[in-house]
Amino acid sequence: MNKKNSEDQIKVKKGFHPHQWLILATLMIASFLGRLDGTIVNLALPKIISDFGITVTQASWISTAYIIANAIFVPIFGKLGDMIGRKPLYLFGIVGFTVSSMLAGLSFNLTSMIIFRILQAITVSIDYPIALSIIAFTFLDREQRAQAMGLWSAVFAAAAVFGPLLGGPLIDNFSWRSVFYINTPLGILGTIMALKFIEEPVEKIKGVKNFDILGALLLGTSLGVLVLVLDQGQTWGWGSSKSIISYTVAGVSLISFIYAEKFAKEPIVDLKFFKNATFSSSIITSFISFMGMIGGIFLIPLFVQDYLGYSVTKSGYLFIPMALGLMVAAQVGARLSSKIQPRYLIPFGMIVSSFAMFLFTGLDIRWSAFDIIWRLTLFALGLGLGLAPLTQAATSSVPIEEVGVASSVLALARNIAGAFGIAIFATILSDSTNSHLGDIRRFSVVHTTNPLTVKTIFGLMVTYANVLSFQTVFLTATGFLVLGAVAAFFVKESTEEFHGRGEHPIEI
């Protein structure tokens, strides 16, 4: 062993990996690409519809197929990372995503687009569980690991902002295909950095001999059908025969999966995790809060574009301070997590976010950009304080060799929660609009028969009913966030800290 390798190993055993921050930067590139793709492609749908000559309903499958495939494969790759190694799987993910993005840009019809989007979703689903697992193995020092998770979490906010900022100009000045090609240079850079800096953190690989194929099929069926009905339920009707069949298939598959996992040698999701109070409370907190957060926030661009007349690019500008606030608060939350127990820090951050969400119940068509920006920023500050400690609480409560699976469960909970939130709040928005419009018309008297005036008055009624409906949704979202804050009080410090001790050095 040469002198440099000897020095590196000493640093590792003391809890400091020699390239840990470069490894984090590498992971952040892939995470940024994956989340950017999730926001930027939706902006291109109108152009794709026009070029392919398809309907809006048909085009919705471009996003739906992506969401379903992502939900199915996140837990599978979380397990595979623990069985066949993190680095080769991570490289497969970033290379596969780069190639599939180029293919999506070359799509020639709807079918080819959907196929390539599914390939994108499969490869990008590798990132979340594997990235968190690599962070857990690389950052052995507890405080530095919390900082790393804070920085990595901030990428999600940055991607949400840069989606509209990059997508708008690219689509306007080039074509919709450019939103896929933009992934190529960053993907190549991320691949080179991964080859150079990321090391396989463990030597002993289990192999796929005992891979839980039955569990993967049952869980994939349940998740795929569940996401499908959440995405299409409002169009089908929540009580329609298609929806009822979907509920039944998802439920039966899930029950069968839980039963099958009890007998699997290498279960896709080890059910013993849920006997861990810290892990279970972290998952419950994440699910409830993400349902409220995503369900509420996704409506803001709709409101500012439909009622304030903002363009897609200009509406993206509103989220820049939010992203910056989240980045700063995530770091503050990460640093405070080593001094303040998560059961206090996470609820405090969520209460701040709840208050900011509640302030949106005063939504008005006379609001300025500043009225929206400062509320979004306050929301981000609260969210950032709790996000990194919540992620660390979930991943530090399980054995380090199972962080990949635990991370995939956490990602799955957040993704499904977001799908639930959007489906529930979109339905609330629609039903509430009809209800408010009925009330307004019932208690209004129009003293004119002039057709133009009557039409104008009815338009104002519809606008007012819509604004009231947005307020109803934000009030509901506030309720979910408050429930999440209550659940967070049960997220206790793990009594068996698996990652922060020096007795688990990285094997190199």
Give residue 501's pLDDT: 38
How large is the greatest C-alpha to C-alpha distance in the chain, in angstroms? 93
- Residue by residue, DSSP assigns 63-113 as HHHHHHHHHHHHHHHHHHHHHH-HHHHHHHHHHHHHHHHHHHHT--SHHHH
3-state class (DSSP) for residue 357:
helix
348 plus 404 within the same structural domain? yes
The answer on 278 and 289 residing in a single domain is: yes
Q: Output 36 or 112, whichever has higher pLDDT.
A: 112
The CATH number assigned to the domain holding 176 equals 1.20.1250.20
pLDDT reported for residue 1: 45
List, in order, residues 6 or more apart from 297 with CB less than 8 Å away: 379
Q: Are residues 181 and 255 in the same domain?
A: no
Same domain, 318 and 251: no
Predicted pLDDT of residue 16: 60
As for how many domains the chain has, the answer is 3
| Domain co-membership, 343 together with 446 | yes
Give residue 192's pLDDT band: very low, low, confident or very high (50, 70, 90): very high
**pLDDT score at 203:** 62
Place of tokens 């008005």: 364
Among 240, 264, 288, identify where a domain stops.
Answer: 264
CA pair distance 296, 436, nearest whole angstrom: 19
Residues 52 and 119 in one domain: yes
For residue 92, name the pLDDT band (cuts at 50, 70, 90): very high
Q: Are residues 124 and 152 in the same domain?
A: yes
State the pLDDT at residue 286: 85
The per-residue pLDDT for range 296-344, each reduced to its tens digit, is 777 888 788 888 888 777 777 888 888 788 878 887 887 787 778 888 8
Closest CA to 22 of 184, 175, 197: 197
- pLDDT for residue 220 is more than 80: yes
Exposure of 37 in the CB half-sphere (CA atoms within 13 A): 35
Structure tokens at 78: 């979380």
State the pLDDT at residue 201: 62
Whether 365 contacts 420, CB under 8 Å: no
Residues 319 and 400 in one domain: yes
Write down the mean pLDDT value for the chain: 81
pLDDT tens string 446-498? 767 777 776 777 777 777 788 888 888 899 989 989 998 898 888 876 544 44
Residue 6 has pLDDT above 60, yes or no: no
Query: What number of CA atoms fall less than 13 Å from residue 457's CA on the CB side?
Result: 13
Which domain range does residue 222 map to? 213-264
Given this model, what pLDDT does residue 120 score?
Answer: 93
Cα 22 from Cα 201, distance rounded (Å): 15
Q: List strand residue ranges (DSSP E) for 124-271, in order.
A: none
Residue 124, token pair as written in the block: 């990008």
Q: Which pLDDT tens digit goes with each residue over 381-429?
A: 888 888 778 877 877 777 777 777 777 788 788 878 877 887 888 888 8
Does residue 331 sit in the same domain as residue 187?
Answer: no
pLDDT of 182 > 50? The answer is: yes
* Together in a domain, 279 and 338: yes
Give the list of residues 6+ apart from residue 17 with CB closer than 8 angstroms, or none: 11, 23, 138, 139, 140, 506
Residue 503: the pLDDT is 37
In this structure, the chain runs to a length of 508
Co-location of 295 and 249 in the same domain: no
The pLDDT assigned to 500 comes to 41
- Looking at the structure, tell me whether residues 315 and 461 fall in a common domain: yes
Query: Using 50, 70 and 90 to split pLDDT, how confident is the model at 188?
Result: very high
Provide the pLDDT for residue 9. 47
SS3 445: coil
CA–CA dist 438, 468 (Å, integer): 12
Q: What is the pLDDT of residue 253?
A: 93
Show the 3-state SS of 220-263: HHHHHHHHHHHHHHHHHCCCCHHHHHHHHHHHHHHHHHHHHHCC
